[in-house]
Structure 1
Amino acid sequence: MAASLSRPCFISLHLPYRQGWAQHLANTFRFRPVAVRETPCVRQLALRRESAIFLVNERLAPASTSTHDFLYDVDPQPTLGTASNVCFEVDDVPGLCKWLQSQGCSLLVPPTELSDEGGSVTYGVVSSVVGNISHTLLDRSCYQGPFLPGFQPIQGAPSATGDGIKITHFDHITYVCPRGGARVALDWYQRCFGFHRFLLNPQERPAEGYVLGGQGVGMLLLALQSARGTPAHGCKLVFAESLSQNGTNQVDTFLEQHGGAGIQHVGLCTTDIISTTRALQQQGARFFTPPTAYYKQGGKAEEIQGAGQDPHMLAELGILLDTTVPGDKGQPGTDATESPSREYLMQIFTHPIFSEETFFLELIDRRGAPGFGEGNIRALWKAVQVYMDQQQ
């Protein structure tokens, strides 16, 4: 009875006392505050952009909090900003929680029903096998309110229309795992949550995963796709593990600064990455600069033009583009005899959101391509590595 999950309902962020991020998320990334819940110790604020919702948990007092201070989540007791909970909507919370317990999963919050004038919801929280991550399992099929029971709607929040930012939903979530942990996580999410294997690259061997080599890089990447939803529209999980033998790379840096495994970045799907990147830059968002060699490599300008995009504009903004190749559908055993495709995707990373070199955001614009282009993967991760090296 593995869970059948689709896109996340919300992603929960926790911040230590006297640290906040909600204002930055609202002002810079233009997420709209929709609901709030406050106790003497914590404030939980839900911010939405289309179907992408962040639940920001801020401490209002230095004293330790109790589990009851949080709804739809648990307290990871953060010493730094962390993305620690991913909520998924499910059909049968009690049945799924019971089955997950039978599989050895730790149940942090038993099935709980809450209601208000908008209806009722049932939720439970289970611990992931990765770091400080937990998962809220939520049935809100009988609820019609703006967010969830226990939260007060926020009236008069500024409209998000007409600001040029075209963010629609969460596309993928990338976890950083300790050495040997990526395959453990892969197996756990397949067995417990019903995710399916997703190949990041057509040359990837399922038994080995996608190995990203090169000086100072050395990473293993493994990916999964939610059972519900098409490859282009379901939720993907990516697990990154360091293979570096010489010094540390960004994965090692994350593990050190975060204090263990966790969520490194969240991919936000956009329908217009050029307009969105420009608008966010005007609001003060900062993005990683890809290596200049990326745009100068043989055939890249022609590839970008063939996709109907302007190479100079993408280079100016720092946006990467990869077209898919025949058979590059991210599924094991895909037939590679179909005709060449003009399906492509574009991506860009923000600088780290918190003061530590841990959590950041990605914009991804899918034009029919469900996977992640090899050139993009290498360029994006190298850009992050260069930035990390400069901060040393």
Structure 2
Amino acid sequence: MAVPLRRLHHVSLHVSNGRKLAYDLVSKYKFNLFATRLTDRSRQVAFRNGAAVFVVNERPIQGSAGLNEWLQLGGNDKHSADARRVNFEKHKRSNPSCLYDVHLHHPVDSVSNVCFEVEDVERSFKVLRHLGCNFLVPPTTVEDENGLVTYSVVKSIVGNVCHTLIDKTKYGGTFLPGFNVTEKDWSLEKENLSCPVTHFDHITYASPRKSTQQVMRWYEKLFGFQRFFIDSDEDVDEGFVVNQEGVGLRLTAMQYWKCSKAGITLPFTDKKEPDCKFVIAESLPQQGRNQVDTFLEQHRAAGIQHVALYTKNIVSAAHTMAKAGVHFFSPPPAYYTEVGKRREIEEAGHDPQMLSEHGILLDTDLQQDPSSQSECSENRRYLLQVFTKPLFAEDTFFLELIERRGATGFGEGNIRALWRSVQAYMENERRDSQGETVQSAQQ
């Protein structure tokens, strides 16, 4: 029997320069630093925008940024560094340098842990161990004055991806024991109106060819994930396939929670959370090398290629991030001038020129009811999406902004345009890198 998941709690990143990423998350992507755990052996800093929470993990390097420098990223530094230092570490079974996670010593920066809340960690551990799961951390209890939390960490079947399973039913604090919370009165009412992100919409894995079915079976058997069909005509075994015009891609989606339109307010557990879908992307050999292959090569393993942030106003969010220095992928200019796409954008009530300024793509849901095929833009189901360039030095992890107006897919009509823009970027990067190598050799 599979272990039921209650909700996605946070996503963890493991990086060599945590301070740089922290600065980018706050200044460019408009996340708020709200909880820290800084010790001699580990730095863990939590950021959130809406209910989307990232935890940045870094092993400190001698001579690197001090505690005060990290905390200044959060603003309003009312207390001294010593007052904010967590003097805690009170565990029943272990005292890890990396709470709620593990150090995998991956050779490059990586997004490597998706943390889920579950009903009972001990019971989940027994069930999953019986099913053959590899646990990196056994059930471990951590507590402070607000109660206790039990967690364990299981290795997934996808590259370096792990899943922390956490039980917070006996905890009344804002985040997690061991973290010093710097913003205790946070709520969705304090959201950044210029960049209104509410939650994680989906997470996409880059996976080797012919591995999708194995990954799907693993998540279905262990956690009860269910298939989500991107297109009503997609083949059950083959998934959603685009294999033409230089694009060779297979997408297969799964979900663990029935879709809900209601948002959530982390950490209040009486709210229903919208499902966060998982997408598996693999390349097809007929169309040559592509960005999935590039990810696998530069990441040196399968892993998380991108995380989509749901926003209620993508134009405002993209504009705010762009002004702060975020670079987005842009589709070919013809995307906005092609007659059919221009009409599609206008019928949805948007200005093609405005969308083109930040590379925002629009895709209408073609599977809607015939009764909704009216001229009124309010009756059209569509989504808007835009993709950032990679956050790390390697061409691996990036973010997506997505706004849904009734559409539940992933912009399948935009795949070719996005694919070509990403390919052009990576080919330019490759040429620049080769040019620098040649120039260096000549010198």
The answer to whether TM tops 0.5 is: yes
- 2:362, 2:95 → 1: CA distance? 44
**1:385 aligns to 2:423 (yes or no):** yes
Q: Name the aligned partner's letter for residue 107 of structure 1.
A: F
**Offset at residue 218 of structure 1 (A):** 1.1
Give the structure 1 partner of residue 107 of structure 2.
79
CA change 1:201–1:6 in 2 (3 A) is: farther
Q: Name the aligned partner's letter for residue 408 of structure 2.
A: P
Conserved 8 A contact 1:216-1:249: no
CA change 1:230–1:83 in 2 (3 A) is: same
Give the structure 2 partner of residue 113 of structure 1.
141
**1:181 aligns to 2:199 (yes or no):** no
Conserved 8 A contact 1:93-1:139: yes
Number of residue-to-residue matches in the alignment: 381
Greater Cα offset, 70-79 or 371-380: 371-380
Give the structure 2 partner of residue 128 of structure 1.
156
Instruction: Mark the structure with the bigger radius of gyration.
Output: 2
Q: Give the TM-score normalised by the residue count of structure 1.
A: 0.91
Aligned identity (percent) is 49
Greater Cα offset, 227-236 or 297-306: 227-236
CA change 1:161–1:107 in 2 (3 A) is: closer
Greater Cα offset, 280-289 or 240-249: 240-249
Greater Cα offset, 295-304 or 92-101: 295-304
Match for 1:244 among 281, 285, 298?
Answer: 285
CA RMSD of aligned residues (A): 2.3
Give the structure 2 partner of residue 9 of structure 1.
9
**Offset at residue 215 of structure 1 (A):** 4.7
**1:197 aligns to 2:217 (yes or no):** no
Give the structure 2 partner of residue 330 of structure 1.
none
Match for 1:308 among 345, 349, 357?
Answer: 349
CA change 1:206–1:8 in 2 (3 A) is: same
Give the structure 1 partner of residue 409 of structure 2.
371
Conserved 8 A contact 2:34-2:182: yes
**Offset at residue 19 of structure 1 (A):** 6.9
Match for 2:131 among 103, 114, 119?
Answer: 103
Greater Cα offset, 213-222 or 157-166: 157-166
Residue 285 of structure 1 aligns to a residue in which SS?
A: coil
Q: Name the aligned partner's letter for residue 106 of structure 1.
A: N
Q: Cα deviations across residues 60-101 of structure 1 (Å, max 9, x unaligned)? A: 137xxx981100001121222100000011111111121111
Conserved 8 A contact 2:7-2:118: no
- 2:108, 2:167 → 1: CA distance? 30
Match for 2:400 among 359, 362, 365?
Answer: 362
- 2:186, 2:30 → 1: CA distance? 9
Residue 285 of structure 2 aligns to a residue in which SS?
A: coil
Give the structure 2 partner of residue 34 of structure 1.
34
More helix by share: 2
CA change 1:156–1:225 in 2 (3 A) is: closer
**Offset at residue 317 of structure 1 (A):** 2.0
Q: Cα deviations across residues 292-313 of structure 1 (Å, max 9, x unaligned)? A: 2222333222211221111221
Greater Cα offset, 272-281 or 72-81: 72-81
- 1:114, 1:238 → 2: CA distance? 32
CA change 1:385–1:208 in 2 (3 A) is: same
Match for 2:276 among 210, 218, 235?
Answer: 235
Greater Cα offset, 379-388 or 76-85: 379-388
- 1:207, 1:135 → 2: CA distance? 26
Residue 220 of structure 2 aligns to a residue in which SS?
A: helix
**Offset at residue 287 of structure 1 (A):** 0.3
Q: Name the aligned partner's letter for residue 13 of structure 1.
A: L
CA change 1:218–1:162 in 2 (3 A) is: closer
Conserved 8 A contact 1:17-1:61: no
- 1:50, 1:158 → 2: CA distance? 10
Q: Cα deviations across residues 122-173 of structure 1 (Å, max 9, x unaligned)? A: 1111010000000001111222212100111125999964550011100000
**Offset at residue 192 of structure 1 (A):** 1.0
Match for 1:91 among 119, 123, 127?
Answer: 119
Give the structure 1 partner of residue 381 of structure 2.
343
Give the structure 2 partner of residue 271 of structure 1.
312
1:279-290 aligned at under 5 Å gives the runs 279-290=320-331
Q: Name the aligned partner's letter for residue 213 of structure 1.
A: N
Residue 142 of structure 2 aligns to a residue in which SS?
A: strand
CA change 1:325–1:245 in 2 (3 A) is: closer
Conserved 8 A contact 2:11-2:55: yes
- 1:231, 1:196 → 2: CA distance? 19
Conserved 8 A contact 2:146-2:171: yes
- 1:100, 1:231 → 2: CA distance? 31
Q: Cα deviations across residues 38-69 of structure 1 (Å, max 9, x unaligned)? A: 1212200000111100000012137xxx9811
Conserved 8 A contact 2:174-2:184: no
CA change 1:302–1:320 in 2 (3 A) is: same
Q: Name the aligned partner's letter for residue 195 of structure 1.
A: F
CA change 1:304–1:313 in 2 (3 A) is: same
Conserved 8 A contact 2:243-2:287: no
Match for 2:365 among 303, 320, 324?
Answer: 324
Greater Cα offset, 99-108 or 376-385: 376-385
Give the structure 2 partner of residue 221 of structure 1.
251
